[in-house]
Copies of this chain bind each other. A is one copy, B any other.
């Protein structure tokens, strides 16, 4: 459900949670979710079978390891990771990131881990 005129402040939403590597949903459109996440440390290597994934860095610097290279994505930059591409987000210092991905996307790809969810609405 997308109410008319939904306006979202990224900073206000990011102030509502502290947990790392636990994306929260802040918007929905065209079968996609807009999520916010805080990262610090290493996330797991994973891939999404059917979904491309966008990382837009709002604060800090996010590294995304790929099989053959490593991306450094700074505040004001975005990266798109195509489906079926193994990747591992990580960062030494805290980074705040906006994610854009289909509603079906789970954070750890096809992993059966209990914490591998689509995230909760903020």
Copies of this chain: 2
Which one of B27, B66, B78 lies within 8 Å of A78 (CB-CB)?
B27
Is residue A91 within 8 Å, beta carbon to beta carbon, of the partner chain? no
A32 pairs with B34, CB closer than 8 A: no
B10 pairs with A80, CB closer than 8 A: no
A: which residues have CB within 8 A of B? 2-11, 27-30, 32, 34, 51-54, 56, 58, 64, 66, 68-69, 71-73, 76-82, 85, 98, 100-102
Q: Within the complex, what minimum Cβ distance (angstroms) separates A2 from chain B?
A: 4
The residue in chain B whose Cβ has the minimal distance to the Cβ of A98 is B56
Contacts A10-B76, A29-B100: A4 and B52 contacting too (C-beta < 8 A)? no
By a CB distance below 8 angstroms, the chain B residues around A7 are: 71-73, 77-79
